[in-house]
Structure 1
Amino acid sequence: MFALKSPRQITPLPLASLLATAFLLSACSKPAEKTQDIRPVRALVLESNSVDVNAEFSGEVRARVESRLGFRVGGKIVARKVDAGAVVKQGQVLMQLDAQDLQLAQAQALAGLRGAETSRDLSRAELKRYQELREKNFVSQAVLDTKQSAFKAAQAGVDSAQAAYRGQSNQAAYTSLVSDIDGVVTAVDAEAGQVVAAGAPVVRIAKSGEKEVVIGIPEDKVETLRHVSDVQVRLWAKPGQAVPGKIREIAPMADPATRTYTVKVAIPDSMAQARLGMTAMVQFASKTAVPQLKVPLTALFYEKAATSVWVVEQGVVKLVPVTIGGAAGNDLLLTSGVKAGQTVVTAGVNLLKPGQKVKILGDDLPTKAAAPATGAMQ
């Protein structure tokens, strides 16, 4: 059996020994070093140019002349001879009405004409006889004057009947709707069996030849774009091909629904690939006295009502306030704050802070290409 020591026999450790032991233990474990976070970003090198793209708008290709055709008389449609998209020639029949009632009216007018001609012929023969009697002095001059008046009235009746017959003939001919231009049917607004009123549009035809792009521009751009002479048009289907356009018409008042002003831009006939209804982009450009820098919208950083960009210098970013001069498609034009040759962050701007180290993604720094000369498309 082991004998237990009494509390008086236990020797307590000195306080100095405890502190020394704690110091040795703390010295064995080194504190973790703090490493600065390096944020990966995308960036571009700014290049200056003297082309200011004031604005770019999308629109629709339309024919310069589009006719809405309708019958000159009312009636029931019995035949529709064209469909939307059909190419038609001048004089081609598009629709027909039921002409039975008008043909009866034409026949009635013809019968009235025949009766008037008969009365006129009778009156002419009678006048001739009375002229012979007057030469023999068998009748007085007053009787002869009466016969002459009767003949003139009969002739007037013939003229009236002829006019009525011609009018009814025209009415009967109006039952066939014919195209007065060469073009393409853009819409058909009535079908066979439908009763239409005189003048109601039933077929729309776009005239072959000149085309234009119709766009809507905001009210704050109307006066600026009115004086821009360099207008470029490119199709959405073929963005790499651009042709010069010309502003042909600017609406005098805004559209009540969209509050934009309708602008019609004429395009040359050489743009044969432009078909009706296609989407087109119209770009307005002009030379600027001061070169401007172009950056994507993602490069901007907004803080406290100020617009800035992150500039990379020796792997560290700093926030630089800038002034926006306008838009160029999906990019923005900067007029002050930065200069050509500086590196600007284009992605990840909301995750940065001043003085932070960054790493630009990619082996080679992507460079923003300078804008081409005035009149060229991006």
Structure 2
Amino acid sequence: MMNRRVPTSGTRLLPAAFLIMAATGAMTLTGCEERNAHQADAAPVIRPVQTLTVQPVTFSMSGSVTGTIEARAEADLGFRIAGKLIERKVDVGDRVRAGDLLARLDDQDQRNALRTAEADLAIAQAEQVQANNEEARKRELLKNGNTTQVLYDAALLSKRTADAKVVAAQAARQTSRDRVGYTELVADRDGVVTGVGPDAGQVVEVGEMVARIAQPEEREAVFNVAEAGVRSAPKEPVIEVALAGAPDITSVGHVREVSPQADPVTRTHTVRIALESPPDALRLGATVTGRLKQPPAPVVELPAPAVVHEAEQTFVWVVDPKQQTVKRRTVSTRPGQAGGPVVVTDGLAQGDIVVTAGAHSLAEGQRVRLGKQIETAAAP
């Protein structure tokens, strides 16, 4: 019989020691992972941003621009019907008063139509008299019981139909009379003729310009200003307008209108300056120069994403280049062109670094990593 060898106590403890060491290692790894995750959560988030360096610009009309004097109110007058022009009584430069005859069309067709309308009215009125008499007779016969209700209703219907025909014929006659009047073009206001259209003998279309009437009492200076100058213009600029050939003849005005869309060829905006009591020498069509009367104030142009609107506050994020952190700064702005840069009038100084992309995901004192940087905010 073979004897079985019994393991010693040391041999029994060896697997248990391995199990204890494995468990301890697993707990150590788990603790390291939790500590690393906690440290990762506690680490500040560094956000990449795009920035630009502020460079204030001034209104480009701080020099002078050349323009012309135009009337504020100007109208192109034309006929309300088409026809052959047989006479034009005015020319460029003529002064006219309200009610003056400017031009005439051949009115033979319109007068023939008027005679036809008058004849139709006479026929309708005769039928109306006959229908009224018939209705009156049938009404008396109905009272005496000598006719039926059906016959009286037919007579009443004929009377009402005749009345309606008279109303329609009167309206047609009035329309024909109006069309005869439309063959004469008269001035609807006092003014000066600044342009004329077709000459006598030509066929004109409805609404085609025959004479352009301007009111010289209200004159404006009209300039074409570059787009950057329009965006960076002062809020209420005062413009001094001088006659090009005589700089001592001047007038002061304010901006009344700026065209919202730039000219597709010149890329300039039309600016209209309402003049205050302009001298007579500033006539319509005169060449003038314009310049800012007050010193221009520098402004800053920023891309729209750089400006944050929160409740009633408008601010931007300014970067501290040493600490690589951002700080909120309140600014004052004014409306610019739709889809264009935002004009900042106060709150920024030259050299400030402003966040232009990623501004809506920042917090006070947050660290950032600078990405692509635009050299300046704008260029005049």
Q: TM-score, normalised by structure 2?
A: 0.60
Task: Say which SS state the counterpart of residue 245 (structure 1) adopts.
Answer: strand
Q: Is 2:114 aligned against 1:103?
A: no
- Per the alignment, residue 133 of structure 1 pairs with 141
Unaligned runs of 5+ in 1: 1-51, 291-378
Q: Is 2:81 aligned against 1:73?
A: yes
* Structure 2 residue identity aligned to 1:286: Q
Number of aligned positions between the proteins: 239
- Identical amino acids, percent of aligned pairs: 36
Aligned match of 1:271 in 267, 279, 286?
279
* Structure 1 residue identity aligned to 2:106: D
Q: Kindly report which structure 2 residues correspond to 1:224-239, keeping only aligned pairs within 5 A, or say none.
A: 224-239=232-247
Whole-Å separation in 2 of the counterparts to 1:256 and 1:90: 38
| Cα pair distance change 1:284/1:148, threshold 3 Å | same
Is contact 1:210-1:268 (8 Å) kept? no
Whole-Å separation in 1 of the counterparts to 2:134 and 2:259: 69
Is contact 2:68-2:223 (8 Å) kept? yes
| Cα pair distance change 1:283/1:125, threshold 3 Å | same
Q: Is 2:99 aligned against 1:91?
A: yes
Q: Kindly report which structure 2 residues correspond to 1:249-260, keeping only aligned pairs within 5 A, or say none.
A: 249-260=257-268
How far 1:254 moved relative to its partner? 0.8
Whole-Å separation in 1 of the counterparts to 2:238 and 2:80: 45
Q: Kindly report which structure 2 residues correspond to 1:325-340, keeping only aligned pairs within 5 A, or say none.
A: none
Q: Is 2:245 aligned against 1:200?
A: no
Q: Is 2:220 aligned against 1:212?
A: yes
Q: Kindly report which structure 2 residues correspond to 1:217-366, keeping only aligned pairs within 5 A, or say none.
A: 217-287=225-295
How far 1:222 moved relative to its partner? 0.7
Whole-Å separation in 2 of the counterparts to 1:193 and 1:269: 42
How far 1:207 moved relative to its partner? 2.1
Task: Say which SS state the counterpart of residue 228 (structure 2) adopts.
Answer: helix
Whole-Å separation in 2 of the counterparts to 1:175 and 1:150: 38
Q: Is 2:194 aligned against 1:186?
A: yes
Whole-Å separation in 1 of the counterparts to 2:161 and 2:80: 33
Whole-Å separation in 2 of the counterparts to 1:69 and 1:252: 27
More helix by share: 2
Whole-Å separation in 2 of the counterparts to 1:201 and 1:79: 14
Task: Say which SS state the counterpart of residue 262 (structure 2) adopts.
Answer: coil
Q: Is 2:152 aligned against 1:147?
A: no
Whole-Å separation in 2 of the counterparts to 1:277 and 1:99: 36
Is contact 1:231-1:283 (8 Å) kept? yes
Q: Is 2:174 aligned against 1:166?
A: yes
Task: Say which SS state the counterpart of residue 232 (structure 1) adopts.
Answer: strand
Task: Say which SS state the counterpart of residue 201 (structure 1) adopts.
Answer: coil
Is contact 1:232-1:242 (8 Å) kept? yes
CA displacement 1:9-39 (0-9 Å, x = unmatched): xxxxxxxxxxxxxxxxxxxxxxxxxxxxxxx
Task: Say which SS state the counterpart of residue 84 (structure 2) adopts.
Answer: strand
Task: Say which SS state the counterpart of residue 258 (structure 1) adopts.
Answer: coil
Aligned match of 1:56 in 49, 53, 64?
64
Whole-Å separation in 2 of the counterparts to 1:121 and 1:170: 27
- Per the alignment, residue 376 of structure 2 pairs with none
Whole-Å separation in 2 of the counterparts to 1:226 and 1:119: 74
CA displacement 1:95-140 (0-9 Å, x = unmatched): 0000001110111011101100110111011111111111211112
Q: TM-score, normalised by structure 1?
A: 0.61
Unaligned runs of 5+ in 2: 1-59, 299-380
- Per the alignment, residue 312 of structure 2 pairs with none
Is contact 1:71-1:174 (8 Å) kept? yes
CA displacement 1:164-186 (0-9 Å, x = unmatched): 11111111110001111110011
| Cα pair distance change 1:232/1:105, threshold 3 Å | same
CA displacement 1:273-329 (0-9 Å, x = unmatched): 221100111111433689xxxxxxxxxxxxxxxxxxxxxxxxxxxxxxxxxxxxxxx
Is contact 1:85-1:186 (8 Å) kept? yes
How far 1:269 moved relative to its partner? 3.1
Is contact 1:53-1:285 (8 Å) kept? no
Whole-Å separation in 1 of the counterparts to 2:247 and 2:185: 40
How far 1:259 moved relative to its partner? 1.5
Is contact 2:236-2:255 (8 Å) kept? no
* Structure 1 residue identity aligned to 2:125: E
